Amino acid sequence: MATLSLQHLDKIYDNKVQAVYDFNLDVKDGELIVLVGPSGCGKSTTLRMVAGLEDISAGHLLLDGKDITQTPAKDRDMAMVFQNYALYGHMTIYENMAFSLTLRKENPNVIHKKVLAAAEILGLTEQLNKKPAQLSGGQRQRVAMGRSIVRNPKVFLFDEPLSNLDAKLRGATRREILLLHKRLNATMLYVTHDQTEALTLADRIVCMSMGHVQQVGTPLELYDTPANLFVASFIGLPPMNFFHVTVQEDALVNETVRVPLTAQERQMLKAYAGKEIVLGVRPEDIVAGGEIMVKVFSNENLGMNTLVHGHLSGSAKAEDKITCKLRGWCDYSAGDMVPVTFVRKHFFDKDTTNAIRGEA
Amino acid sequence: MSMNEEQFIKRDRMRFAKNTLSSGLALLAILFNVFYFVSIYKSDVGSYYYSIVIGASILYNLIFMLLVFLSSEGVKGYNVSYAYVLLAVGVLQIVRIFLLPVSAHAAVVTVNQQETIVMQTAQFIRVVVYLVASAVCCLVAGVVGIRKSRVLSAHMASLEQKVA
């Protein structure tokens, strides 16, 4: 396995469009890094630069300390798993998995051992004589992974491998990838736009937007201490609620709501007294009971929780919309006023959009 | 890897690899047969070829190609029955040498008041070579098919024994 270092990577296309700006990342040996972000944020481009499928416009790519920026894709010793599987339909699963090694003219007996071992890991032994068309989407994706495993590459690259699967299969295959990572202890770079995949799979997440890295950290760090408004809005489902508020001595206020501050929060926002900031509250950080009123307009029962959609203090303004994830089964009707409390708050600078950490 | 292990893996590979040697040879046999039948008929020897024997020969060519093509697919999947079919048609290809080519080589016809041999020696040798090549391909494909099928059957039996 291997370490990977992405140093100041830029990607500028011939038409002068810049897709990636100054990307820096050090991937440790055996680490699973997930690049996450909305469509067009540059995550797949970054992965393709690492794979050698896109030229690197500026910066350096180091594999085990060796500069491979100009090394052709075939010599990088990396295996890529694509969203659309990229299997050969006329070949059996065995032949698909053996294909890359056959091209390298490896000993057929060695190839056989590697293919059987990979098939065993992925539970594909019974499918080896079948053609890809005879397999389900999940099984096909496992074959694509198997094809990578037999090569025993230094780095595995996954480009949205679960996007073509239905929700149930996606969950199952996600768990398989996680088990595979634990079993192989391989260095992996994984691209997805699905934050659930990112949070469940990653050792560390790289959150990207518009070609820029917004935050690098563990899933908990990104969820718990988002670096800016973008990360806060992107990570978490349902997304975080945001309100423009003014910092007063003991509370955050706007035209519709007054949110009391704890002593710790007051200390944190000392420098922002009298200024407007953005208050972020995750739906799951809202509990029933308290002095903030929410006028319900819809109610979604999820079993263990209830998603309550409403407006703060009965306001009809779009910026006062709020989603609360309340514990238990709640039967609210449209128009009901529900008292809530924000048990945890996030604060963001209105101008820079960066999180306000302050001195708590 | 020890010798035994290598032998085992070699046999085990047959579970997933097709018998492309036999299959390829069978297709080659069809190709040689095509060379044979496009070489044999000549139009400048009067009405010699206009007989029931030629009709049967054409029909047999079609049946041969169909049988050998099906057999090539069959032996690819280690089906021993198709290997026997290939052996049979291989023998028939040899027998065919003594039917049309030999009789045409020995026959003399009068065309434009001149006596001429229906199949000259050069043509005779050429068609015989095509038939022999076709026969050899069929026979080798059949023998290899039978041998590999037996090896695979024995291997599968040993695997089943291990599981049991």
Question: A253 and A183 in one domain?
Answer: no
Kindly indicate the confidence band of residue B25, based on its pLDDT and cuts at 50, 70 and 90: very high
Question: What is the spatial order of strands in the sheet that A66-67 belongs to?
Answer: A18-27, A4-12, A58-63, A66-67
B15–A95 C-beta distance less than 8 A:
no
A95–B12 C-beta distance less than 8 A:
no
How far apart, in whole angstroms, are the C-alpha atoms of residue A148 and residue A157? 9
**Torsion A292-A278-A220-A168 (CA) sign:** positive
How far apart, in whole angstroms, are the C-alpha atoms of residue A78 and residue A330? 51
> Taking Cα atoms as reference points, which of B127, B36, B29, B39 lies closest to residue B70?
B29
Its domain, for residue B40, covers 21-163
How far apart, in whole angstroms, are the C-alpha atoms of residue A340 and residue A284? 12
CATH for A320 = 2.40.50.140
Give the one of A94, A109, A113 whose C-beta lies nearest to B16's C-beta: A94
Question: A213 and A136 in one domain?
Answer: yes
Provide the residue type at B90 as one letter.
Answer: G
Disruptive mutation site among B10, B16, B163 for chain A (greatest number of A CBs within 10 Å): B16
Please give the residue of chain A at the shortest CA–CA distance from B15: A129
Question: A287 and A229 in one domain?
Answer: no
pLDDT, tens digit only, all 360 positions of chain A:
689 999 999 999 999 999 999 999 999 999 999 999 999 999 999 999 999 999 999 999 999 999 999 999 989 999 999 888 889 999 999 999 999 999 989 999 999 999 999 998 888 999 999 999 999 888 898 899 999 999 889 999 999 998 888 888 888 888 888 888 988 888 999 999 999 899 999 999 999 999 999 999 999 999 999 999 999 999 998 999 999 999 998 899 988 889 999 999 999 999 999 999 999 999 999 999 988 999 999 999 999 999 999 999 877 777 889 999 999 998 899 999 999 999 999 999 999 999 998 654
Over residues A265-307, the pLDDT tens digits come to: 999 999 999 999 999 999 999 999 988 999 999 999 999 999 9
Question: A262 and A193 in one domain?
Answer: no
Its domain, for residue A190, covers 4-233
**pTM for the model:** 0.79
- A88 assigned to some structural domain: yes
What single string gives the DSSP state of each residue in B39-57? HH--SSSTTTT-SHHHHHH
- B140 assigned to some structural domain: yes
- A269 assigned to some structural domain: yes
pLDDT above 70 for B161: yes
Give the one of B6, B15, B16 whose C-beta lies nearest to A109's C-beta: B6
Tell me the ipTM for this assembly.
0.72
As given in the structure block, the two tokens for residue A28 are: 């440790």
As given in the structure block, the two tokens for residue A192 are: 């997805």
- B13 assigned to some structural domain: no
Over residues B65-100, the pLDDT tens digits come to: 999 999 999 999 999 999 999 999 999 999 999 988
What single string gives the DSSP state of each residue in A269-282? TGGGTTSEEEEEE-
Give the residue from A183, A205, A233 where a domain finishes. Answer: A233
CB-based contacts of B43-49 (< 8 A; 24+ apart in sequence): B44/B111, B45/B109, B45/B111, B45/B116, B45/B118, B46/B109, B46/B110, B46/B111, B48/B104, B48/B107, B48/B109, B48/B118
For position A163, what pLDDT does the model report? Answer: 86
For position B143, what pLDDT does the model report? Answer: 97
A113–B16 C-beta distance less than 8 A:
no
- B91 assigned to some structural domain: yes
